[in-house]
Structure 1
Amino acid sequence: MTTEELILTNNGGSPLLSITQVAEIFHRSPEGLRITLSGDNELARQLKPCRVKIGRRVYFRVAGIAQFIDQA
């Protein structure tokens, strides 16, 4: 089972994750992850291409998150 499949099965099969779900994957608080992503650091640079904005909400692609985890 790949990392992407594992994330999809644990989060209901949706190809997009909310910031709360991503924070849970990285074992951080949602507020801490927001602050980290707003800065100029390695994590923010890696996750920015995975980001999708729908209206005012921010989501992250599962494929991009899985790829980041696999590279680490």
Structure 2
Amino acid sequence: MTTEEQILLACGGSPLLSLEQVAEILHRSPAGLRITLTGNNELARKLGTARLKIGRRVYFRVTAIANLIDEA
């Protein structure tokens, strides 16, 4: 089972994850992840490519998060 399939199974099958779900997957607090995203670092740039904004809400693509985890 791939990382992407595991994330989809754990998060209900949706191809998009909320900031809180990504924080849980990366073992960070939501506030800590928000701070990381505002910085100028490698993780912020990689998560920025996974980011999708719909209205005022921010979501992250499961495929990009899985690729990020697999690269580490």
Q: Which amino acid aligns with 2:68?
A: F
The residue that corresponds to 2:61 in the other structure is 61
Where in structure 1 are there 5+ consecutive unaligned residues? none
| 1:18-60 Cα deviation digits (max 9, x unpaired) | 0000000011100000000110011101111110000000000
Q: Which amino acid aligns with 1:8?
A: L
Whole-Å separation in 2 of the counterparts to 1:51 and 1:37:
10
1:17-32 residue pairs with structure 2 within 5 A?
Answer: 17-32=17-32
Provide runs of 4+ in structure 1 moved above 3 Å.
none
Task: Output the TM-score relative to the length of structure 1.
Answer: 0.98
The residue that corresponds to 1:48 in the other structure is 48
Q: Which amino acid aligns with 2:30?
A: P
Where in structure 2 are there 5+ consecutive unaligned residues? none
> Percent identical across equivalent pairs?
72
The size of the alignment, in residue pairs, is 72
Q: CA RMSD in A?
A: 0.4
Q: Secondary structure at the match of 2:4?
A: helix
Task: Output the TM-score relative to the length of structure 2.
Answer: 0.98
The residue that corresponds to 1:70 in the other structure is 70
